[in-house]
Amino acid sequence: MKCHLCKIIAPIVLIFIALLYFGSRFLPPLAPDHLTIATGSKSGIYYQSALKYKALLAEQKVHVDIVTTNGSVEALRLLKAGKVDIAFVQGGSSDGFEKEPFTSLASLYNEPIWVYYPDKREEELLYLNALRGKRIVIGAEGSGTKALAVKLLAANGITPKNSTFLALGSEAGAQALFDGDADALFSIIGTFAPLTKALLLDPQIRLMDFTRTRAYTVRYPFLNAVTLDEGVMDLQYNLPPEAKHLIAATANLVSRDTIHPDLVRLVLQAAQKVHGQAGIFRTQGEFPSASRLVFPLNVDAEVYLRDGETWLEKIFPFWIASIVKRVIFLLIPVIVMMVPIIKLLLPLFNWRSRYKIYRWYKTLNEIEEEMEEYDATQRHHAINTLENALINIQKVDVPLSHRREYYDLIQHFELILGKLRANN
């Protein structure tokens, strides 16, 4: 019985193994255990966020290298050159990179555009076009601040031809503003950064109130209208002293479109822990988000942002969940293919067992139909034929399920053989 089961099971197992091997050739490789992220300067919020990502991903056995840059434009250049895997990119910084194979993994938080100016102005600064002919700090070379500032100023008719653009970072630009060497400062830094508080506390510096936030957000979909409420930054000093309407870009995580799907999920898990809490310019669970993106949304990121963690990721550590998921994805099509194969093999095995029995009936039937006309010599030859056949039949090994037919064959042979001997 075991032998016959082996004859059935062995080819099924071999086919199953062959299909598994063949299918495994089409599975994507496991995610790399190394990731490189481009940020801004070490004093910026991008770098601080990347440090948190690094700690979280280290728990999943993924090593993260952080590459500092002057800002989003330089980070995109590194991404284009393949020197980093992911980059923190500020909304409005994608000019010149639209045709690159980049995808956004998510937007992470709102980044207000702070426009400061000296309090010595006779009138409050409400419109950017009032800066025509002035000295304007637009951000450091290679920064997202510079790219966005130039874009917004150009929309208001302000260009290097009719105004003076100073390519300085936020700290150097603030110093120029304090020293009277600049008439306005564009800055995109953290809300609670020391420089932000210092500028708001300084009685000689004022923060621009954007009165046309709706117009900016309609013209530039990557911008969002936010409000800095009175006293929200410091109740003791009542900062700001009155509510300010601001426009904000969104910080994006950007990658090449070839990034491994598992890395996408790992990074977004970290992003959810780092940026998912409520803040001054975001509500609980608002970020990471699929809105106001710099580049088209990554397909795998879209699935994660919509569905969250899989049930496997909730039960197992990420790498175990990843392996189990791959095994499931491999087994499902193999099992689907095995069903018709098994349905084919079982009748084939059944036919083979029956063939071992019924192929002898050809000889038996030929003798049975003509034995009445046999002479002595023919009858003797027929007896020898049946006796030899019967010896061979008794060597035939058939499964228990066909033993009844096997014994019927032997009885039939013995019946015809008995008749031949009786007439001999």
pTM over 0.75: no
Helix-, strand-, coil-residue percentages of the chain, each rounded to 5: 50, 15, 35
The pLDDT of residue 1 is 43
Q: Break the chain into its structural domains and give their ranges.
A: 359-422
The pLDDT of residue 5 is 60
The pLDDT of residue 4 is 55
| Cis upstream peptide for 288 (omega within 30°) | yes
b/e map 250-288, b = 16+ CB within 10 Å: bbbbbbbeebbbbbbbbbbbbbbebbeeeeebbeeebbb
DSSP state of 317: -
How far apart CA 31 and CA 37 sit, in angstroms, is: 16
CB-neighbour burial class of residue 158 (10 A; exposed 0-12, middle 13-18, buried 19+): buried
Structure tokens, 326 = 């791959």
Structure tokens, 170 = 């936020």
CB count in 10 Å sphere of residue 214 = 12
How far apart CA 129 and CA 87 sit, in angstroms, is: 32
Q: Of 67, 11, 18, nearest to 334 (Cα)?
A: 18
The pLDDT of residue 275 is 92
The count of C-alpha atoms lying within 13 angstroms of the C-alpha of 115, restricted to the half-sphere facing its C-beta, is: 28
How far apart CA 166 and CA 113 sit, in angstroms, is: 17
Tell me if 70 sits within 8 A of 41, measured CB to CB.
yes
How far apart CA 417 and CA 400 sit, in angstroms, is: 26
How far apart CA 87 and CA 141 sit, in angstroms, is: 17
How far apart CA 70 and CA 42 sit, in angstroms, is: 10
Segment-wise mean pLDDT, segments of 10 residues, the chain, 424 residues: 62 81 76 91 89 94 93 93 94 88 94 90 83 94 90 94 93 91 91 85 90 91 90 86 91 93 93 89 87 92 90 80 80 84 79 78 80 79 82 78 80 82 73
Residues 233, 238, 240, 242, CA torsion sign: positive
